[in-house]
Structure formats: C-alpha cells, structure tokens
Structure 1
Amino acid sequence: MPAVLEATRIAARRAVRPETPARLRLWVAVTVLTAVALLASLSLLMARVQEQVRIIGDEAAPQAATAADLYFALSDMDAQVARMVLTAGNDDLAGSQIDALGTYQERSRQVDADLQKALTTTTDRAALQQLATDLAVYRERVWQTLTAGDAAAGYYTQATNLLHLNLLPAAQHLRDSSTERLSDAYDRKSVTQSWAVTLAVVLGVALVLLLLILQVWLARRFRRVLNPALLLATVLTVAVVGPAIVVLGLQGAVLDDSRKTDLQPFLALSQARAISYDAAADTSRFLISDNLAYYDDDFRRKSTCLTAGGSCEIPGGLSTVAGGPDVSPYDRDQVLTRWQTYQKDHERIIGLARSGRTEEAVGTLTGIRRGDASFDFSYYDAAVDEIATARADAYDRALHDAKTVLTGWPWIPVAVLGLVILLIPLAVRRRFAEYR
C-alpha cells in the first residue's frame, strides 16, 4: 500500500512539472473541454432561442391576434343584426340594410376563420367547442329575428343576450388566455437568452484566457514568439462569441421593443375597436327596445371607457391606445375626436327617439351621408383601422428582422468552434514530437 501511494505522488509530481509533456496535455485537455462546452451551450441555446422566436411569431402572437379579432368580429356581427332589424321593411333604407347584411356575412366568415385558426393552435378545445355551439344557437336566433316580422325585437333580444352572456365572455377568456401564453413565450425566450449570454461570456472569456495562457506558456517554454494556430483559434473564439452576444441582445431588443410599441398597443386597440362596435350597437338596441334606458346607460359606460379610460378594459382610453411614437399627435387625436362625433350622434338619436320622432332617429342612425351616425362611425373606424394595420405590419417586420438576425446561428458556433477544437492539438503537435 505505501508503494502505491508513493507511485501516485511521483506520477502527480511529474504531471505538474513544467518540463514534462503532462502539463502540456493538461492545458490542452482543459482548453479543448472548455471549447467543447462553449460550442455545445452556444449552439444548443442559439437553436432554442431561434425556436422560441418562431413560436412567438408563428403561434403565440397569431393566437393573441386571432382571439382579439374573434372578439371584435362577434361584436360587429351583433351590431349589423341590429341595423338590419331597424331598416327592415323601409324602402328608403334598403341600401343600409344591404350594407348591414353584407357586413354581417363578412364578419360571420371572419368568426368561422378565427375559430378554425384557434382550433389548430390552442389547447383549450372545450371552450372553443362550447363557443361554436353557442354561435350556432346565436345564428339561429338571428335567422328567427330576420324572418319574424313584428316579433323580430323579441328574437333579437334573445340573440344579443346570448352574445353578451355567452359568446363575448368566452371570446374574452380565449383572448386573455392567449395573451397569457404570449407573455409566457416571451418570458421563456428571455430566460434562454439570458442563459445563452451568460454562458457565452463566461465560457468565451475562459477559453480566450486559456488560449492566451497556453500561448504564453509555449512561448516561454519552447522559445517561440507566437503560435499561429493558437493565435487563429483565439481570433476565431472572439469572432464567434462577440457577434453571438450581439445577436442575442439585438434580437431581444427588437422583439421586446416591438412588443411594447406595436403588439401590445395593437391588441389594446383591437379591444377598443370591439368595445366601440358594441357601444354603437347599443344605439340601435335602444331604438329596437322602445327606448329602454339600459342601452343608453350601457353606451355611456362604454363610451366613457373609450374616452377617459379608468377602471375598464382600455386603461387610458383611445388617446393612450391609439398613441405611440409611430403615430402623429394629429392621427391620435383624430381617433378620439371622431369617436366623440359619433357620441354626439348617439345623443341626438336618443333625443329624437325620446321625443317620439323614431323614424327620424332611425334615419339618422342608419343613413350613410356625412353627418349621419353610420357615416361618422365608419369615419372613426377608418382612423382606428389605419393605426392598427400599421402596428401589425411593424410587428411583422420586427419578427422578420429577429428571425433574419438569428439565421444560421445554431450552426455557426459548430463550424467556428469546431475549427478551434482542431487547431488546439494541431498547435502543440510539434511540441509533443520533441519528447519522442
């Protein structure tokens, strides 16, 4: 046993003696292992970040946009039904009725498309199936509304109640859950990105230091000024680690900034747009219900949410969600101003109805000339749609830029650091030959 211990001590002593190749082997082994660890971590984490960006762009963000669009389309469907009820049997308003029918059919197709998209991307299938079932019942009530003649108001009340008690809450649940999934996707990417940067810095600095130390040690031990292979390996390491950190930071900054300035405002503006459509439908519902005050009160609540924000679904109101660095103050103010114009139209229509001038109120609501409520609402909606479209396009460009920046990066570390790993033993091959 003492002989074994003594042999172990001798072997260890020889391993660390500078004049033996054992120390050189140790440096080479540690340096190569560090390079392998850097290659594996950087390549795998880059691939993971790339996949997470793809999930955000191809799944999470479209899911959130689809859910927001579904809520909006459902709101407008009911608004168009209300217009058709009000214009039914009035030849002077036949144009408005045809327009309302065409818009209803367009929104109905939009709802079906959104549901189909949601079914292929979400795991909450039970909620979607229930929503589809309630939608079928709603459409049946709408058909009854349009064919019931004098009983249309009663069927429409059933339809709109079903929409507000079942369909819109279900759509809101889908919207909230998809927004949460989007936030989770961003959080997971941020964690992976942080790990990638940390490991790139730690292992990259460690590898460069090991290469420099090995370079200095060889220069002193073997009287060589520079080792070209080690010098190239050092340059390649810096050349891959530095850009990798820049790429990780750049794509993260692009996506995070676009999320704040484009995606989140787009989703908030989509929600505001849906509320405005539902509020505009309250004007029609007031007339259909023989001046039921509930609908006027409901309109005022939604309109206050749009103009002042506060404790509602649109914090800050239209001025906040329509604003931003990419929107001029004029365009932002136009959204709010045009809604306030419709708000005045609503007050005028309510006043006409309460004074017994119902036919004039219906004409003011459904007319398509400048100054009519329908025209003013379309004018407002065009301003909202222009900003929303610009934000959606800006976010798409940011996603494209992030994907472009990450292109090839799962394989670039493999190629570059693989060459580094080959260069290290090549750099010391002749030194080992001197001991043979």
Structure 2
Amino acid sequence: MTTSQVTSRRAADPAEAETRSAPPAAPREPHRAGRRVRLRLTGPRRLGARAAVALLLLAALCTTAVVGAVTVRADTSRLRTTVSERAAVAAQLRSALADLDAQHADTLAPGMSADGSGTYVGNQLQALITAQQRRAQVSDALRRLSGDSAHGALVRALLDGLGRYDDLSGRAAFVDEQAPDRLAGHPPAVTVAMNAQAGAVMTQTLLPDADALAADYQRQAGLDASRVRADTRHRIAAVGLLGAATLLFLLWWQRELARDYRRLLSPPLVAGTAAVLAVCLAGVVALGSCASAADTADGQGLRPWSRLAEASAVAAQAAAAESRWFVQGDDLGRSDAALYATLTGRLDTLLAPDGQATAAERPAYEDVLTRYRRFRADDAALRRLKGEGRTDQAAVLLTTVGRGDIAFDFWDFATTLDALAARQLDDFAAHAADARDALDGWPAVPAGALGASALLSLLAVRPRLAEYR
C-alpha cells in the first residue's frame, strides 16, 4: 500500500479516528424514584415563613380561647335559666296543684256539730283563702311556662285539665252550700261524688302532666350541668395544649434568631411570648375555677334542691290524699288511704339527708324531719278519731289552725321544707354565678393579649428584614 492510499483512508474515516482518540463516556446514573429537591429558604423568606407560623399559632390559640369562653359562659347562662325559670317554676306548679286539691277537700270537712247544739265545727274560711292563693299560684306558674314552645302541648294539656278540675270542684262547692246545716264530715252525696271526680282529674291528669313537665326540666338541668363541666374541661385541654405548642415555637424562634443574627434576645418576641404565657395560665386558672364552681353548683345546689322540690310536691299530694279520704269516707276514700301510705313512704326517703347535706345543713334537715313527724302524729290521731266515730273532733283536728292541728302542723312542715329547698336553690344560683364570674373579662382578655403578641412578633421580624435591604 502506498503512502497516498494510507493518507486517503485516514481522511475517509475521521469519525472512526475521533472515536478512537476520545475517552470512554461515564455511565449514566440510574434514576432514583422518590428523590426530592430540597429548597433552602433564604434569610428573608425564612423569617417570613417563621413569622407566618407564629401568626397562625397565635390566631388558633386566640380563636380557641375566645370561642371557649363564649361557649362556657353561654352554657352557664343556659343552666341558670333552665333551673330558675323553668325547673323551679314547674316544681312550684306541682306543689300548688296538689295543695289546691287538699284545700278544696278541706272546705267540705267543717259543718254543724253532731250533738245538736248548733255549733259550727271546723275552719272553712282558712281553707277557702288558701285555695284561692294556690289557684293564683297555679295560674302564674302556667303563664310563666307558656313561653316555652318546646313544652307548649303539655302546658295546654294542663290548662285544659285545670278547666275541668275547676268546673267539678266549683260545682261540688256549690252543691255543698245548698246544705248549710249538714253535719261536719258528712257533705251531701252529690258533693262527695263531684269531689271524687275532681280528685280523679287531679291525680290522673293534672299531677302526672305536672310531674312530667317538672321531670323534663330537671333532666334538662342535669344535662346542662353536664355540658358545662364537659365543655369547660375540653376548653382547658385545648387552651393548654395549643398554648404549649405556641410557647415552644416562640421559644425556638427566639433561639434561632439569636443564632442567625448574633443577637442575645429579641425584646418584642420576649414580650409576645410573655403575653402568650399569661393568657395560657389565666385561661387554665379561669376555666378551672369555672369548672369547680359548676361542680359545686350541681352537687351542693341542684341535686339537693331537686330532691327537696320533689319532697314538697309529694308532701302536698299526701295532704290532699288525707283530706279526700276524710271527706269521701272509707268506701270512696280507700284508694286515697293507700295513696297516702305510698306517698309518705316516699317522703321518708326524700327527706333523709342521705349524705348530700353538709354538716352545716344537717340541723335544717333535722328540723324539717321533726315537723314532718308532728304532721304524721296528727294524721294518726285523725284516723283514730274517725275510727272511733268522733267526727266533730276529727274535723276540728283537720281544719283548725293551731299547734297540734293538721292544718297548722302541715303548713309548718311544708313552709320549713320549702325554705330549705329555697336555700339549696340559692346555693345553686350563687355557685352558678361564681362559675360565670370566673370568666369575667373574657373573651376580651385573650383577644387583646394575643393580638398584641401577634403585633410584637411582626415587630421582632422587621429589624431583621431591614438588614437585607
């Protein structure tokens, strides 16, 4: 091969020559699934991101504290309204209805003495006056409850039943007035029959409806008390946890600022952190005080009052059963005698302190029990006199107002019982007010303090951002 041929061949294959002279290519790195590109924030962006996180935490903490305070205060107000404007009125309605029936029966007990002396035996006037008072109390209670649309049907049913009761008891009184010379304890048979019908309307319609209404309100009061306790504890946990998270972030941010910018402390951020700490501590203490007061209101006010209010209604029903038994005689009054025994058995349980009364309240419970025993002793004497045929003395014992007479001793017992129930209701109202007062200044306090903390956080960032201009 000549030199020219070699030269031409090399010129014909330049690509091959270039390939032979180039180094081998490096192998391609295989693709890794899931590999992420990490973006590093520059100084200004890093400051802005941390400020944004701080503002979000402060906003969340502020919202939690404000909403919690508003919710708990609303729950406390609802509890007070349910008890004082609903449950208490319904309890008064029950007692007034039962005592109204007792007074109507008592008006039929007095009459002329059986000895022929023409002496009027018993005190009808006191029973008439008391019956008018109880009827006015019933009307007032129904008027106050009529504004509750949730129980409107039950209130209307009570009004209808009350109309029938008024008609029957009024007709019984009218017929009795047509026999002015009848003997004590022996009203006309038509009067007795109408009184029995009125008593049936009371025991089978009015009192069951009133019991259902009172029980519903007391059940609602119990639910409201439970809601106050639950909401308060939930808000304490939320404020505590979110506040701790906010404090930790602000402390960490303070450390990062000191490390990045060679500053010992940021005074605005220190002040903002102190404001957050103050709100958290004040919120936990205030909500804890509210929860404690709500527990006390329920345990030392609402529950004992509910028990005593029921005892007051049962006592009035027992007195009504006793009076109807005396007027209607052994035949018609047999069911009333059995009802009296049942009701006094319930009273024996309801009037016992049963561990709910404090040491300071036990003397008041003992006083009520003492007066209750006097009423029971009077009832035993009444039944003994009637069993012996001494109707005149029995009518005097039932209707005369004096120590040792049923009309007085029952009034004494019932008044003392109502006073003790009112005392428990006042205790409830005072503790419920304490629960609401524990949050005085809220939600203005957390809103103002945390708003200031947010502003201070922005002030802490401003001088650092100025360094990049």
TM-score past 0.5 threshold: yes
Unmatched segments (≥5 aa) in structure 1:
1-7, 310-316
- 1:301 aligns to 2:334 (yes or no): no
Count, aligned residues: 416
Matches of 1:175 and 1:92, distance apart in 2: 41
Residues 227 and 410 of structure 1, relative CA distance in 2, 3 Å threshold: same
**What letter matches 1:273 in structure 2?**
S
Q: Counterpart in 1 of 2:55?
A: 32
Residues 231 and 154 of structure 1, relative CA distance in 2, 3 Å threshold: same
For residue 398 of structure 1, the aligned residue among 431, 456, 460 is: 431
Matches of 1:45 and 1:232, distance apart in 2: 24
TM-score by length of 2: 0.84
After TM superposition, the structure 1 = structure 2 runs for residues 18-57 of structure 1, keeping only pairs within 5 Å, are 20-57=43-80
Matches of 1:327 and 1:89, distance apart in 2: 49
Report the Cα offset of residue 321 of structure 1: 6.7
Alpha-carbon displacement from aligned partner over 1:36-64 (angstroms, at most 9, x marks no partner): 01111211121111111111112355311
Matches of 1:266 and 1:322, distance apart in 2: 14
Q: Counterpart in 1 of 2:40?
A: 14
Alpha-carbon displacement from aligned partner over 1:293-313 (angstroms, at most 9, x marks no partner): 332222122112212x2xxxx
**What letter matches 1:221 in structure 2?**
D
The 8 Å contact of residues 258 and 398 in structure 1, kept in 2 or not, is answered as yes
Q: Counterpart in 2 of 1:312?
A: none
The 8 Å contact of residues 59 and 121 in structure 1, kept in 2 or not, is answered as no
Residues 105 and 323 of structure 1, relative CA distance in 2, 3 Å threshold: farther
The 8 Å contact of residues 269 and 321 in structure 1, kept in 2 or not, is answered as no
Report the Cα offset of residue 98 of structure 1: 2.0
After TM superposition, the structure 1 = structure 2 runs for residues 323-402 of structure 1, keeping only pairs within 5 Å, are 324-325=357-358, 327-402=360-435
Matches of 2:112 and 2:267, distance apart in 1: 91
Local SS of the residue matching 1:148: helix
After TM superposition, the structure 1 = structure 2 runs for residues 423-434 of structure 1, keeping only pairs within 5 Å, are 423-434=456-467
Q: 165-174 or 328-337: which moved more?
A: 328-337
- 1:243 aligns to 2:276 (yes or no): no
The 8 Å contact of residues 263 and 391 in structure 1, kept in 2 or not, is answered as yes
Residues 142 and 224 of structure 1, relative CA distance in 2, 3 Å threshold: same
For residue 67 of structure 1, the aligned residue among 90, 110, 118 is: 90
Structure 1 runs of 4+ aligned residues shifted over 4 Å read 88-94
Q: Counterpart in 2 of 1:206?
A: 245
- 1:99 aligns to 2:126 (yes or no): yes
Matches of 1:138 and 1:39, distance apart in 2: 58
For residue 115 of structure 1, the aligned residue among 131, 142, 159 is: 142
Unmatched segments (≥5 aa) in structure 2:
1-34, 114-118, 177-187
Matches of 1:268 and 1:322, distance apart in 2: 12
Matches of 1:154 and 1:92, distance apart in 2: 23
Sequence identity of aligned pairs in percent? Answer: 29
The 8 Å contact of residues 229 and 295 in structure 2, kept in 1 or not, is answered as no
Matches of 2:356 and 2:447, distance apart in 1: 45
Residues 407 and 92 of structure 1, relative CA distance in 2, 3 Å threshold: farther
Q: Counterpart in 2 of 1:231?
A: 270
**What letter matches 2:89 in structure 1?**
T
Residues 89 and 232 of structure 1, relative CA distance in 2, 3 Å threshold: farther
Matches of 2:398 and 2:263, distance apart in 1: 91
Residues 430 and 145 of structure 1, relative CA distance in 2, 3 Å threshold: same
Local SS of the residue matching 2:91: helix
Residues 224 and 252 of structure 1, relative CA distance in 2, 3 Å threshold: same
Matches of 1:414 and 1:60, distance apart in 2: 32
The 8 Å contact of residues 211 and 234 in structure 1, kept in 2 or not, is answered as yes
Q: CA RMSD in A?
A: 2.1
Alpha-carbon displacement from aligned partner over 1:63-115 (angstroms, at most 9, x marks no partner): 11111111111111101111111125687456x32222222111111111111
- Could you say which structure has the larger radius of gyration? 2
Report the Cα offset of residue 23 of structure 1: 2.2
The 8 Å contact of residues 322 and 384 in structure 1, kept in 2 or not, is answered as no
Residues 322 and 41 of structure 1, relative CA distance in 2, 3 Å threshold: closer
The 8 Å contact of residues 269 and 322 in structure 1, kept in 2 or not, is answered as no
Alpha-carbon displacement from aligned partner over 1:225-272 (angstroms, at most 9, x marks no partner): 121111111111111111111111111211221111111211211111
Residues 88 and 124 of structure 1, relative CA distance in 2, 3 Å threshold: farther
